[in-house]
Each structure stands twice: as C-alpha cells, then as structure tokens.
Structure 1
Amino acid sequence: MNFKLLSASFGAILLSIHTSFGQVTENPKVEESSVPYVKIRKVELTDANTIIHLQFIEKQSQQPQFRSQPRMPAFPDSRIPQPQKQDQSQIWLDPETRLYKPGEIDKKFKFIRAENITTTTKTAVANGDTVDFVAYFERLTPGIEEFDFYEGRSSAGNQSWNFYGIHIKNPLKKDATKSSKPVAKTTAPAKKPAAKPPVKTPQKPAPASKKEIEMAVLKGTIYNGKTKEPIAAQLSYMEGGDTLQIRSSSGKYRVGVDADEKYKFRVMARGYYGSSFSLAPGDSSGKAFNQDVYLTPLIVGETILLPNIYFETSQYTLLPESFEELNRLVDVMRDSPTVKIRVEGHTDNVGDFDKNLDLSRQRAESVKNYLIEKGIESGRIEAKGYGGTRPITKGSEDRKKNRRVEFVITEM
C-alpha cells in the first residue's frame, strides 16, 4: 500500500471533520413559544450557519391549528364567525424570520434557506401528520448562548411560530493571537511602497425593512399576588384583528410587539382572578419593555376589587366600559363552577346616608344581573350594598376610591 496516499487520504478525512464540526445542542431549553405544536429538536452551529431543526405535529386529538384560516379566539365571542373547515392545517416558514439576542433587537441574524418546508406557498398538513424541517440562518456570534426565533407578528388569520429564550452551547472562541509558544521573528524582504487605493465614496446602508424597525419586545413574569411566587398562566392580546395567546408554564413570558400598534393584554390563570394592562410601544424610545403581573388567588374570604366598573352618574345603570371587566369575572366563574361570591357595592359618604346605601345595593344588583344574563346561576351570587360605611380612604382628594364594586369569595 502506498503510505503517502494513505496519509493524504487520512489528512483529507481529518480536514473534512474539522471544517464540518460545530456546536450541537439537542432539545434545547425554550423558555416560551407562541404555539405548542412546533418544537425545536436541535440547534447546530457551523462556521457559516445557525441550523435549527424543527418538528411540526398535527395531532388528531387536539384542536387543529390554522395558519391560513381565522383562528378561534382565546375567549369565544359570538360576534366573531368561527371557522367551518377544521380538517387540516396549512404551514410554511416566513422568509423574513430572524434570530435575535434577547433585549438587543439590533443584533439580528438573517434567514438563509429552509429544507422540507415551503417559504413562498402554503402546504396542507392532514391530522396526525408530522413534518420535520430545517431552517438555516446566519451564524450566531460566539458567546450568544440565548436567542429568540422570531417569525413575525400573527395577522390576517395566520399564526406565527415564535420561540423565546432558546438556550444553546455557543462559547466564546479562544483568542488565536494569544499563543504560549514564541514565534521566531523573520526579516521581511524590502518592498516598494504600496500605491494608495482609490478613495471610494461610502454608500449608505440599505434601510431596514419596516418589519424590523417596528419590532419591540415585551417580557415579564406572572406571580401569585399573595406568595409572590411565579405561576402558570395564559396571556392573550389582539393584534391585526386576531386574538393571540401565549401559555407559560413557568410564569415567564416574552412577546414580540409592533411599535406602531397599541395593545391591551389580558392575563388569566386557573384559580386566580385575571388582570389586564395596556402597552403602546411607540410612546417610548425603548425597544424592550418589562411588565410583571400579580394575580389574586381565589380563596374563601378573599375580597377582590373590580377596578373598571362604571355607572351613570348617581345611577345604577352599567356603562359599556364595564363589560370587559365583568366578562373577566364571568370567565372565572365558568372556569370554577363551585365558586360562590358576594358582590358588594360601596359609595362615598357625601350626601344622604340612606340614599347612598340604597344606591350601593342597586349597583351590586346590577352586577349580579349582568352575570346571570351571561349564564351564571343566580344561586351562586349574592348582592349587598354598604353605602359609605366601609371607606378605604378618608382623604377628600381620594374620595372616588371609596366608590367601588368588590366581590368576596364565599364558597369554593
């Protein structure tokens, strides 16, 4: 056997192994994802690319997920038409997908190509099918060991696939210039001075696409308001006419938002009274927002304020601005069918005592009647008015805080 030939072949094999070697993270930890039916199975880092191996599973036992049909809202509304055809999904991967370093939106890595999934047309997937596909991106900078996979904001009935807090192996490279072995100095041969290169007029970089400019990130943690411990919860919001959901088992969440839109986020958790908050990213120059949420647990004897209940002045007629808050209470009672409550009305202490007492009772009754109209059994609701006998503040400037509606958990 020719030894030189064997050595050359062996060296070629080693070179091939060396050039293709990269960091591989199997089943990486993902803090949050926008959908439960797409998983990241592996992240591979080569010299040139970040390669993400994903899997789509369309289970027969679950509600079909639509990427091209109107999706079911998180909290059904009879005014929204429901999809009629639910026998398959249509999937594709948006070529505008980017990878980002959390909290540093300017550090983005572009999509290059995909395997086994289309990027310009939609492919039908029947119930029970599994699709394994691969997405290639620019190489993550060494040292970035947590990143976000952001396909886009869901719109026009399309549910985007976004993953937040993907943890991988990607250590910093050792500085090749630092070597423990001294390098022998050599005298460079004399050379003629190099001609100066022609001066080039600097070109303005191409403007970023509208999608990238408008993107911002909202993140936070949902806590038990009593124990201050993180809890599993669901966050929902409207964007582009669609109701989107994020389910968090850890309490942590991260959402990509459009800087040109205004958002109303709704937070729900089983066994807790929900909450809501608003966000207008365009009102701030920042690209990262933090919002922690504290939910009140449903415990017998717990008094919970209904913060957004409004009536006509000196009347007990509910205003439409109250319906969102009341619908949240309806959802709680539907999710916890054994819960019984007492609705309590309160006024300030200005004016006739007896009239205030009667007005507070009538307002509590109005709330009770609204719940009954929404299908909650009347036997689960008691209504009582306390007038101005139970103020929460005595200052004249904060007197409006005493005009409130609360409910108390009386039975679980």
Structure 2
Amino acid sequence: MIRLTFLFCLLGSCALAQVQEITVEGQVLDALSRKGIKSSIRYKSYPTGGISGRFNDSTFSFTIFGSSKYQVTAEAEGYIPLTIIVDPKESVNNKIQRNILLTSTSRAIVLDHLIFEMGRAVINSKSYSSLDEVVAMMKDNTKVVIQLEGHTDNIGNAEKNMKLSQDRVEAVKKYLVSKGIDKNRVKTKAFGGTQPLSNERTEEAKALNRRVEMRVLKD
C-alpha cells in the first residue's frame, strides 16, 4: 500500500502521520454507445474545492491523498454535464476506477440498472444509486427538463402493459421528486409494448424491451 509520511508538530510535540495515496482514473463515455467523448474534465476536493485540476480528453487520471472526497465534472458539446463524487473508501489496491456516462441532448437513453419487482411498479432498492445519478445531473443542470418513457415487453394484455409502463415511469418520477427535483421538470409518457427493441420471443429479448428511457426535452 502506498502511503506518504508527514511530520506534524503541535505545541512542541511532533509525530509522524501516514497519508494514503490513491490513483483515480476513468473514461468519459456516451451513455448509449459507450464510445469515448473528448470532454472538458475538472476535478477538485469536495466540498472544500481546495485542490483542483483539468483535462481535455476522453480519459482522466489523477492522485488523491488521505480521506478527502473529490468531485469530478465532465462537459462536452451536445451532452448534459455530469458530476460524480469519488470517495477514497471505494479504492481497491490504491486505485479507483470510475467512468462518467454523458447523456446526449438529442436522443433518449435507457436508464441502466433500473429494476422493478416482477409485474409491478415497485422500484428495487438496488436501483436507487442509478436514479441518484439522474438526481445529481438535474441538480447540476437546473434548466433541464426530462421525459421518462415507459416500455414493457409485447407479451400479454396490451392495456395492462400500457398501464404498467405508465405506473413505472410515475414511480420513477415520484422518486426524483422525493429527492428535491421539481415535478414540473419531469414529464412522463407510456408506450406499453408498442415500441419493442427486439421482436424475438427469447427471455433476453423480453428483458431488453422492459425498460424506462430518459429523453431531454429542454437543456
């Protein structure tokens, strides 16, 4: 484990203290295609902002010390800026790997890792961290208005599928509003099973079709 040693003195008494050194690295990617995006990337200690740096690339790598958290922000033309918080507690072997997924302002993206209970509009708690990233994006970009679009597979009763897709996007909206997002900034629309990504009958295809997408209406 890499540690830096410092000598601290207070009221005539001195002691050695070790500070852990951690490398933070990652990429800025298109949230849909997962291709790298050349971006303006800024980082600073959080919440004080005392230590900072900047990159103009699709990748970033910098070193942090001690237990302070860091804030990393990526901006690129045609995308919504996004800020993530890096916590030294996340480190494995003195490294933290974090990618930043930017949302295009011109198309809808699927909200990854959004899980509902089977046949219901109840969000699994494992999905909260993914939704919290949407909350952070909207708090960082206060003029952004989004539309949540609900989709189901195209198996079964069409009316029930339509209602389920509507109930699910309303559940996501309710979560965002509970985290401080103005309800007028979150629109919803249900499609049921009318817009499948795949017409195959496999379980994988059905899972692909069951989704919530986010579209930016105003930025």
TM-score, normalised by the number of residues in structure 1: 0.38
**Pick from 241, 245, 250: which aligns with 2:56?**
250
**Pick from 216, 223, 233: which aligns with 2:41?**
233
CA contact (8 A) 1:223 1:231 kept: no
Distance 1:327 1:406 in 2: 15
**Pick from 81, 102, 111: which aligns with 1:272?**
81
2:28 corresponds to which residue? 222
Per the TM alignment, residue 121 of structure 1 is displaced from its structure 2 partner at its CA by: 2.4
Residues 330 and 120 (structure 1 numbering): CA distance in 2 closer, same or farther, change over 3 Å? same
2:67 corresponds to which residue? none
2:218 corresponds to which residue? 411
1:3 corresponds to which residue? none
CA contact (8 A) 1:224 1:230 kept: no
**Pick from 349, 352, 366: which aligns with 2:171?**
366
* SS at 2:8 equivalent: coil
Distance 1:325 1:120 in 2: 42
1:391 corresponds to which residue? 196
Distance 2:169 2:52 in 1: 34
CA contact (8 A) 1:274 1:295 kept: no
> AA paired with 2:40?
A
CA contact (8 A) 2:28 2:102 kept: no
1:160-239 mapped onto 2 (5 Å cutoff): 219-223=25-29, 228-233=36-41
2:7 corresponds to which residue? 120
CA contact (8 A) 2:148 2:213 kept: yes
Higher helix share: 2
2:15 corresponds to which residue? none
Per the TM alignment, residue 387 of structure 1 is displaced from its structure 2 partner at its CA by: 0.8
Residues 376 and 281 (structure 1 numbering): CA distance in 2 closer, same or farther, change over 3 Å? closer
2:183 corresponds to which residue? 378
Gaps of 5+ in 1: 1-94, 98-117, 125-150, 154-159, 163-216, 237-244, 258-265
Distance 1:121 1:321 in 2: 43
**Pick from 144, 148, 159: which aligns with 1:339?**
144
**Pick from 190, 199, 209: which aligns with 1:402?**
209
CA contact (8 A) 1:310 1:322 kept: yes
The superposition leaves residues 319-352 of structure 1 with CA deviations (integer Å, 9 ceiling, x where unpaired) of: 2111111111111111111111111111111211
CA contact (8 A) 1:272 1:295 kept: no
Residues 122 and 233 (structure 1 numbering): CA distance in 2 closer, same or farther, change over 3 Å? farther
**Pick from 89, 92, 111: which aligns with 1:306?**
111
Q: How many residues align?
A: 187
* SS at 2:56 equivalent: coil
CA contact (8 A) 1:221 1:230 kept: no
2:47 corresponds to which residue? none
Distance 2:154 2:84 in 1: 29
Per the TM alignment, residue 318 of structure 1 is displaced from its structure 2 partner at its CA by: 1.4
* SS at 1:385 equivalent: strand
Residues 337 and 363 (structure 1 numbering): CA distance in 2 closer, same or farther, change over 3 Å? same
2:68 corresponds to which residue? none
Gaps of 5+ in 2: 12-17, 45-50, 65-70
Distance 1:332 1:404 in 2: 20
> AA paired with 2:28?
I
TM-score, normalised by the number of residues in structure 2: 0.67
Per the TM alignment, residue 384 of structure 1 is displaced from its structure 2 partner at its CA by: 1.3
CA contact (8 A) 2:153 2:192 kept: yes
Residues 255 and 317 (structure 1 numbering): CA distance in 2 closer, same or farther, change over 3 Å? same
CA contact (8 A) 2:24 2:95 kept: yes
CA contact (8 A) 1:339 1:411 kept: yes
CA contact (8 A) 2:29 2:99 kept: yes
Per the TM alignment, residue 312 of structure 1 is displaced from its structure 2 partner at its CA by: 1.5
Residues 273 and 408 (structure 1 numbering): CA distance in 2 closer, same or farther, change over 3 Å? farther
Greater CA radius of gyration, 1 or 2?
Answer: 1
**Pick from 142, 147, 160: which aligns with 1:355?**
160
Distance 2:53 2:165 in 1: 38
Residues 314 and 224 (structure 1 numbering): CA distance in 2 closer, same or farther, change over 3 Å? closer
1:100-139 mapped onto 2 (5 Å cutoff): 119-121=6-8
Per the TM alignment, residue 294 of structure 1 is displaced from its structure 2 partner at its CA by: 6.1
CA RMSD of aligned residues (A): 3.9
Per the TM alignment, residue 280 of structure 1 is displaced from its structure 2 partner at its CA by: 8.7
CA contact (8 A) 2:109 2:214 kept: yes
Higher strand share: 2
2:14 corresponds to which residue? none
* SS at 1:386 equivalent: strand
1:49 corresponds to which residue? none
> AA paired with 2:60?
Y
* SS at 1:394 equivalent: coil
Residues 328 and 302 (structure 1 numbering): CA distance in 2 closer, same or farther, change over 3 Å? same
> AA paired with 1:325?
S
